[in-house]
Amino acid sequence: MNIDILLGLQWGDEGKGKIVDALSPVYDVIARFQGGPNAGHSLEFNNVKHVLHLIPSGIFHADKLNIIGNGVVVDPSVFKKEIEALGPPVSELTKRLIISNKANLILPSHRILDAAYEMSKGNSKIGSTLKGIGPAYTDKTSRNGLRVGDILKKDFRQRYNDHFINHLTILKSYDFKFDLKEYENGWFEGIEMLKKFPVSNTEYLVNELAGKAKRILAEGAQGTMLDMDFGSYPFVTSSNTISAGACTGLGISPKLIGDIFGVFKAYCTRVGCGPFPTELFDNTGTNLRNIGHEFGSTTGRPRRCGWLDLPAMKYAIMINGITKLFMTKADVMSGFKTIKVCTSYKIDGKTSFELPYNSDIAIEPVYAELEGWQEEITTKRDYNELPSALKKYINFIEKQTGIPITMISVGPDREETIFRN
Ligand code: GDP
Ligand code: IMO
Ligand code: MG
């Protein structure tokens, strides 16, 4: 069982990129299995912050192999920009990164469709990142998609045009103005960049490497509460963000899975629309946003902030089969007098420990109140040095969930990490 999975337990932005980068030294391969440029995974080292969208967060480790799996949707123009911003020359990066020929392409017209669909929804919009994710996965499941492997085919341009004509027909029914040229030039330049990288049946490679006892880390994007099936539908993304998604998104058997790491923030954030039972509309929410720099890594939008939601987290732990928890951003709450944690919901006056089916139902969070910690913790590297109130908070979560918290992130830098066995 050489494949571990790391994924988000909340609404995304839990700090997955930082943790994957910090864990990369103990793995041989880092692989993305779903999502696309809607993701924004930040990591920091040597005082420089990097934000990755499509490329796995192991890319800065020269001796690691990174894989973009079949479950990912790839926008070539985003890919090119990201490659060029990384630093190392392309000739070096082509040795570190392989792309599945079965990953579907996001076309410029998918981005336009995403915007047209959102606009037409009026007040009930999803709050999409507008990166074309929904329309690209729609074409995949309706068996109309173009895939990375197709870019090498002689009739690729013709196929692209056929897709565009289909999308144009749909767009005619929307009152939506767009400038395709703006996207198209960069997109075709991106195709040329993609051609420089190895493209293959990565499912063979992943299984072969797992068979040779190489250690593989599958890096999730978004979060469990944005999962297409189990998130707060319809306010979700268009892929399976849960651990099962790693099997379909890389071509691996569940038998190969070892640990399943669940990353969560010490509080909650959500960007975009949809239910968020513990959302704070007061100064505490504003403080969390400002101190935690809670602004989207992909869109720059302010993130909605609230207290930790244990019923939602327990649900995520159950659906994913989490074996270890990793907590991020407790440093943001240093100085808070008290900390609240939602332990159950009141729905229609009745206590509930379950997430309701209806996403428009009124949920009243029921809170436990814990003592806050006053000390700065970013410089701490040993669990024993952490303030006792924070240790109590950690123990409380472990007791409630039944899962050990084996890593505590105390800052955005890869060094600002406490491992605990
Ligand atoms: P991801 O999408 O899950 O990879 O998370 P994002 O990168 O979108 O958002 C997490 C943000 O928190 C980024 O700006 C990180 O640099 C930052 N971050 C990650 N871990 C910590 C932490 O423990 N403390 C603080 N203060 N910031 C963190
Ligand atoms: P990472 O990997 C946070 C949200 C959007 C919107 C909904 C659907 O950085 O954690 P989409 O563009 O997928 O159609 O948007 O999902 N969303 C994210 N929120 N982090 C992300 O990724 C997200 N990716 C999508 O804000 O509410
Ligand atoms: Mg993010």
The tens digit of pLDDT for each residue in 148-203 reads: 999 999 999 999 999 999 999 999 999 888 888 878 999 999 999 999 999 999 99
In which band, very low, low, confident or very high, does the pLDDT at 18 lie, cut at 50, 70 and 90?
very high
| pLDDT surpasses 80 at 297 | no
- Look up tokens 């990591």; give the residue: 43
Q: Mean pLDDT, to the nearest integer, of 129-146?
A: 97
Mutate to test the pocket of ligand 2, among 119, 125, 237, 269 (most ligand atoms within 8 A of CB): 237
Distances (CA, A) of 33 to 73, 230, 298, 370: 9, 17, 19, 37
In the structure, ligand 3 is a single-atom ion and the residues with CB under 5 Å from it are 13, 40, 297
Instruction: Return phi, psi of residue 393, to 5°.
Output: -60, -45
Instruction: Return phi, psi of residue 280, to 5°.
Output: -110, 130
Beta bridge partners of 350: 347
Which protein residues are within 6 Å of ligand 2, measured from CB? Answer: 8, 11-13, 35, 38-41, 126-129, 131, 133-134, 221-223, 226, 237, 271-272, 297
Considering all CA atoms of the chain, what is the largest pairwise distance in Å, rounded to the nearest integer?
65
What radius of gyration do the chain's Cα atoms show?
21
| pLDDT surpasses 90 at 123 | no
Q: CA 128, 132, 134, 140: dihedral to nearest 10 degrees?
A: -170
CA of 404 to the centre of ligand 1 (A): 21
Per-residue pLDDT tens for 33-92? Answer: 999 999 999 999 999 999 999 999 999 999 999 999 999 999 999 999 999 999 999 999
Closest by CA to 66, choosing from 44, 94, 102, 105, is 94
Distances (CA, A) of 29 to 23, 68, 265, 344: 11, 11, 25, 39
The pLDDT score that the predictor gives to residue 252 is 98
Neighbours of 270 (CB within 10 A): 25
- CB-CB contact of 1 with 214 (8 Å): no
Q: Mean pLDDT, to the nearest integer, of 270-298?
A: 94
Which amino acid type is present at position 290?
N
| pLDDT surpasses 80 at 1 | no
Mutate to test the pocket of ligand 1, among 9, 18, 269, 301 (most ligand atoms within 8 A of CB): 18
Report the nearest-CA residue for atom 18 of ligand 1.
Answer: 412
- CB-CB contact of 13 with 270 (8 Å): no
Q: Give 175's contacts (C-beta < 8 A, 6+ positions apart).
A: none
The atom number, within ligand 2, closest to the CA of 38 reads 24
CA of 13 to the centre of ligand 2 (A): 9
The pLDDT score that the predictor gives to residue 360 is 85
The atom number, within ligand 2, closest to the CA of 131 reads 12
- Look up tokens 């997955």; give the residue: 16
Report the nearest-CA residue for atom 13 of ligand 2.
Answer: 237
Tell me how far apart the alpha carbons of residues 118 and 11 are, in angstroms, rounded to a whole number.
Answer: 19
Tell me how far apart the alpha carbons of residues 271 and 303 are, in angstroms, rounded to a whole number.
Answer: 5
Q: Which ligand sits closest to the CA of 299? A: 2
Is the C-alpha dihedral spanning 76, 81, 85, 89 positive or negative? positive
Distances (CA, A) of 63 to 25, 29, 58, 60: 9, 9, 9, 9
Q: Which token pair is 173?
A: 């029914």
List 4, 21, 28, 41, catalytic entry: 41
The atom number, within ligand 2, closest to the CA of 239 reads 13
- Look up tokens 């960007």; give the residue: 271
pTM over 0.85: yes
Beta bridge partners of 35: 72
The pLDDT score that the predictor gives to residue 92 is 97
In which band, very low, low, confident or very high, does the pLDDT at 359 lie, cut at 50, 70 and 90?
confident
In which band, very low, low, confident or very high, does the pLDDT at 296 lie, cut at 50, 70 and 90?
confident
Instruction: Tell me whether the omega of the peptide bond preceding residue 234 falls within 30 degrees of 0, making it cis.
Output: yes
Mutate to test the pocket of ligand 2, among 7, 38, 328 (most ligand atoms within 8 A of CB): 38
Closest by CA to 414, choosing from 38, 29, 57, 37, is 57
CA of 15 to the centre of ligand 1 (A): 4
Neighbours of 44 (CB within 10 A): 17
In the predicted model, what is the mean pLDDT of the chain? 96
Q: State yes or no: is 50 an active-site residue.
A: no
| pLDDT surpasses 80 at 298 | no
Which amino acid type is present at position 151?
I
CA of 14 to the centre of ligand 1 (A): 6
Q: State yes or no: is 162 an active-site residue.
A: no
Report the nearest-CA residue for atom 27 of ligand 2.
Answer: 272
The pLDDT score that the predictor gives to residue 216 is 98
3-state percent breakdown (helix, strand, coil) of the chain, nearest 5: 35, 25, 40
In which band, very low, low, confident or very high, does the pLDDT at 299 lie, cut at 50, 70 and 90?
confident
